[in-house]
């Protein structure tokens, strides 16, 4: 069962989750609008992530190194490696993300969406607590 979740300039379409795969994987399509980005560099405590480009170009910063992911390109992010992403282009960037094993599910994204729903600037402590509760470890810029 698919589920669409929008968080600002980022749209997710969950295709498979830990619930349907017995924890084998989470898989979602992600669309990032121009100038959209992951605002907090982070690493995953409990899973690896593979990103496959579908259209546009998404710039993944992995372990401090920018990697452009366009249609047909892939990048593998081992657990524990700091990363983030942004769309520096003028068209939406779409990619397929596969997390193995599947331990995240859509719950994290729903909770982030709800935390941002009130408008105004996000509460950094609240956002960090949500991330950590779901296995994402925020890393201050420059570390």
The total domain count for the chain is 1
Residue range of the domain that includes 106: 3-138
pLDDT in tens, 86-134: 999 999 999 999 999 999 999 999 999 999 987 778 888 999 999 999 9
Estimate the share of the chain in helix, then strand, then coil, as percent rounded to the nearest 5: 15, 40, 40
Query: Is 143 among the domain residues?
Result: no
> What is the pLDDT at residue 143?
58
Query: Is 100 among the domain residues?
Result: yes
Q: Residue 129 is inside which H or E element, if any?
A: helix 124-133
Alpha-carbon gap, residue 35 to 58, rounded angstroms? 10
> What is the pLDDT at residue 142?
62
The two tokens of residue 85 are 């992403």
Q: How far is CA 15 from CA 110, 113, 132, 134, in A?
A: 15, 18, 24, 19
> Domain containing 55 — which CATH number?
2.60.120.10
């Amino acid at each position: 069962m698919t589920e669409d979740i929008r968080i600002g300039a980022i749209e997710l379409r969950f295709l498979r989750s830990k619930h349907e795969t017995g924890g084998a994987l989470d898989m979602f399509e992600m669309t990032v609008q121009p100038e959209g980005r992951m605002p907090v560099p982070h690493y995953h405590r409990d899973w690896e992530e593979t990103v496959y480009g579908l259209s546009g170009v998404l710039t993944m910063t992995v372990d401090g190194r920018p990697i452009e992911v366009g249609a047909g390109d892939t990048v593998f992010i081992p657990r524990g490696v700091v990363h983030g992403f942004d769309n520096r282009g003028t068209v939406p960037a779409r990619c397929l993300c596969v997390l193995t094993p599947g331990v995240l599910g859509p719950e994290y994204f729903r909770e982030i969406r709800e935390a941002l729903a009130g408008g105004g600037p996000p509460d950094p402590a609240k956002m960090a607590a949500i991330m950590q509760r779901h296995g994402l470890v925020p890393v201050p810029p420059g570390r």
